Amino acid sequence: MASSSRSTNLYTVEQVRRIDQAAIRDGGLPGTELMQRASTAAFAALRRTWPQARKLLVIAGSGNNGGDAFLLARLAWQAQWEVHVIALGERSGGDAAAAREAWTRDGGRIIVADEQTQFPDADVLVDGLFGTGITRAPGGVAAHLIEAMNAFRGGRLALDVPSGLDADNGIAPGAVLRADATVSFVGWKRGLFTADGVDCCGQLELDSLGIPDPIFAGIGPDCQLLEAEFANVLPPRMRNVNKGRFGHVLVIGGDIGMPGSVRLAGEAALRIGAGLVSVATQARHVGMVVGTRPELMAMAADGPQSIEALLGRAGVLAVGPGLGQGAWGHALWDKALRAGKPLVLDADGLNLLARDPLPLPAATVLTPHPGEAARLLDCDTAAVQADRFAAARALASRYACVVVLKGAGSLVADAEGRLALCPFGNPGMASAGMGDVLTGVIAGLLAQGLGAWDAACLGTVLHARAGDRAAGPRPRGMIASDLFEALRDVVNGSPT
């Protein structure tokens, strides 16, 4: 990822459009100049990524993204490359028309695409078909071109955003390019980092096209990208301390047949640095929890009265892993929420909240996956995934708390509309128990004195980075407990 002072800012398409307009209006940068800078940046990225390439295929749409592509083709042509250009349509609009004319004026040829168009041989393909404006499934010739680009055997470079991807929400409603690399212009589009975007962009690079800082200052980003360096928010520990200094987490859950959930959450809280961790679970599960992790203090929870003393001693509650939605789970859940302690609510704790929306303690973090989020918002999972940013904000607003919406590009939101995105993690983490580990991690950070926002952001980053470290080149088959040693590494700042 390219280094940039603005590299953690994520923008909506409309915000980037306003930055463009301000650069033209107030920054003395004509649209044609911005287009030339974009093509220069993209050609430089292409040469870095594919240094041996000398044969280029350019796919150009009719808008400004196509204009960037025509100018890039011209740069390659001037560098003595073999260049082929395929265009969607006979004409281009706006500033792209001048770029197209410059290409043909230099002697460049254009093949106008149809549904039978075949691609010539090349080392690298440049996708300049659609930019940030597309929100619908491509059809006709455009869909044919995208499918042909995906079948292309050379490298694939996308300009600004892979064609077919909704740059706001990261959704691909139809055919979408799966690029090997993407150069984003002006600012990061938030959809590049979540949902389908994480599978479509390949290696990402940002070029802000030399737009001055004051132009950006007037248009704040919609979301912040969490960085690995965020893990340094925890201060080094003094030597003259004891376990009471680092908090007491109580994990509540583990109905019949589900003891593993509380066991995973409890150990995660210990591994992230909590001083004490208790587990309240079904009586028959106590031996298993203590027998496999003796550092956990497990007790039988026969009903809400049996956990009153524990609730009094604990500083932070983690409620929901393996809890179930029966009478036993509901009674413990109700008792825990009414205790008013800082709280992480997950799994069946969230399903019970959707069914019986009690007021939540002030320092509460919800950690839903899209299905649980849908139940909490009275919608379906598809609606959540169609706009994960709006869903995360809606959850935080409705329940007046901090929310971690899990998934590819996990989002953290608070009730004031603040939003952060975690770019770490891997598909190996799509396995049973990973959410229980995250619950324990966030609870353990709350116990060490972090506020709900910082604990949610830091916990999400540490969990994802531990998953990346544990997976290495072998994500398939990773299990939740594989993260424990890696959690120790990342929370202590060990280099990757």
Q: What are the residue ranges spanned by the domains of the chain?
A: 9-224, 228-491
> Rounded distance, CA 154 to CA 127, Å?
12
Specify the CATH number for 228-491; select among 1.10.287.130, 1.20.1260.10, 3.40.1190.20, 3.30.70.2740. 3.40.1190.20
Is-contact 323 252, C-beta < 8 A? yes
Q: List 204's β-bridge partners, or say none.
A: 182
The model's pTM is 0.94
Tokens (6 digits) for 156: 């694939």
Write out 315-378 in H/E/C secondary structure: CEEEECCCCCCCHHHHHHHHHHHHCCCCEEECCHHHHHHHHCCCCCCCCEEECCCHHHHHHHHC
> Rounded distance, CA 423 to CA 493, Å?
18
- CATH superfamily, with its number, for domain 9-224: YjeF N-terminal domain (3.40.50.10260)
In 233-326, alpha helices (H): 259-271, 286-292, 308-313
One digit per residue, pLDDT tens: the chain, 496 residues? Answer: 333 445 899 999 999 999 999 999 998 999 999 999 999 999 999 999 999 999 999 999 999 999 999 999 999 999 999 999 999 999 999 999 999 999 999 999 999 999 999 999 999 999 999 989 888 999 999 999 999 999 999 999 999 999 999 999 999 999 999 999 999 999 999 999 999 999 999 999 999 999 999 999 989 999 999 987 665 668 888 899 999 999 999 999 999 999 999 999 999 999 999 999 999 999 999 999 999 999 999 999 999 999 999 999 999 999 999 999 999 999 999 999 999 999 999 999 999 999 999 999 999 999 999 999 999 999 999 999 999 999 999 999 999 999 999 999 999 999 999 999 999 999 999 999 999 999 999 999 999 999 999 999 999 999 999 999 999 999 999 999 999 999 999 999 876 5
Please indicate whether the domains covering 9-224 and 228-491 agree at the CATH topology level: no
In eight-state DSSP terms, residue 119 is P
